[in-house]
Structure 1
């Protein structure tokens, strides 16, 4: 990624301030904030301190004609940025930097920013829904849920930002809605949705159909099985699918429903076998084999390790106490940019936190992370 790409997309963000009173340019503050977050800074004061310490390096790219702004100024400016414009710029940038390929799994899932609650009643922490390209390991876009709603209303807005033609979009049971399924198809992609009791008629019919199929495939030896070994934990899974929708009357109400399936699993931890089997049901507009469904469902959970875990453990997102107006969601977007850039830099084979520490100490490496040089 070139310096021009970054500057091109984020220069589209409008500055809501009265231009005659502007002392510090909006893009200067954005570039400072992004650089500081990549270098491990979290709060406004840390961002200001980073700016003073790295002023000469920052001036290689932006002017800072009046020096580094105070942390209160940084907070005030960031909190006034229009989130929809920021999201649009971010998504367009990601689409240019990371081309998704046909068949790639795009996982959509939400995460609550625990530290963004209202100070007076400690409620209303914001919830961000993200689209994660599992193969590339990058965030393609994000959308804040409405404070009086949930992911169901945020997912269609997020899908509008994305170019996902030919991809397989995976969502947990919250997103198992006919309107969302149709929205994915309208984007020329396929859906793979977790099915639970929130769709009672379809769920009961799928459960009834696949129950005897489990026994039949066990007996004739066609059951797809796999095992996963990690330290003191072993997990065993099998998967059954059917592409015959004639025995599922409720399938007619779902757009282009082609596959239903179930993954049965149990765990063995520290030598002790779980006494309960776990059944996870899925529906898809793609014609999937048991092996393909199992692989795609497993890929969906990479958003937990590849994004949410890194935000929580590497970037301490849940410890962040930024709450001013619209700043929490803008900073969540900045952290997504930072994760993407840190993920894309592969010459230093360490975790996110180690890369941040190196970027803080070494401006050559920081520049390499930001611009890919």
Structure 2
């Protein structure tokens, strides 16, 4: 758990100095809740509140469980690239801890339009995401947003960033 928290501490805290909850702890709670099926900030807050005693074995929670408003505010303020980099580092560390090296075998590439993820007034242009998935371990390897809805360019950039020697893509 210390490794996960140290990775999440690399994300810069965009909040004022009077923030009550530690950002790494908030991100840890959000990650754990999401892995357990949470889909909203309310779900994340309920997850934390229902498991407060168990979570205190891993994190301090000095001011108790954060509210859903706290999670919502933090996610609106965070730099998406910093969070993406931290989650990529988490996945790389998870692969190392599980004894998995670089992907072998089949790597699937998939592009998706994000439903209701569009900017106000641009409902006709939902953002596109491209992801690479290791079929053997069933883990996502990487994901990126397609700039200007150019899925092909995003796919090529994603594939260039990965070591896929010997893989079938």
TM-score bracket for this pair, using the shorter chain length: 0.7 to 0.9
Say yes or no: does 1:83 pair with 2:45: no
Structure 2 distance, partners of 1:57, 1:125, is 39
Change (3 A) 1:91 1:49: closer
Unmatched tracts of structure 1, length 5 or more: 171-373
CA 1:94–1:51 in 2, change beyond 3 Å: closer, same or farther?
A: closer
- Give the 5 Å matches for 1:147-186: 148-159=148-159, 161-162=161-162, 164-168=163-167, 170=169
Alpha carbons of structure 1 residues 71 and 93: separation in structure 2 relative to 1, 3 Å? closer
**Structure 1 residue 82, shift from structure 2 partner:** 2.1
Q: Does the C-alpha gap of structure 1 residues 36 and 165 become closer, same or farther in structure 2, counting only changes over 3 Å?
A: closer
CA distance in 2, matches of 1:86, 1:46: 20
Which 4+ stretches in 1 moved above 3 angstroms?
Answer: 117-124
Distance in 1, matches of 2:57 and 2:87, equals: 23
Q: Deviations over 1:317-361 (max 9, x none)?
A: xxxxxxxxxxxxxxxxxxxxxxxxxxxxxxxxxxxxxxxxxxxxx
The alignment's C-alpha RMSD in Å is 2.3
The whole-number CA distance in structure 2 between the counterparts of 1:160 and 1:84 is 18
Give the corresponding residue for 1:99. Answer: 101
Q: Please state how far the C-alpha of 1:75 moved relative to its aligned partner.
A: 0.9
TM-score, with normalisation over the residues of structure 1? 0.40
8 A Cα contact 1:106 1:167, kept in partner = no
Q: Which has the higher contact order (CA 8 A, sep 6+)?
A: 1
Contact 1:45 1:71 in 2 (8 A): yes
* Equivalence for 2:145: 144
Q: CA deviation at 1:144?
A: 1.3
1:121 deviation in Å? 6.0
Which protein has the bigger strand share? 1
Distance 1:95 1:38, change over 3 A: closer
Larger Rg: 1
Is the 8 Å Cα contact of residues 16 and 80 (structure 1) preserved in structure 2?
Answer: yes
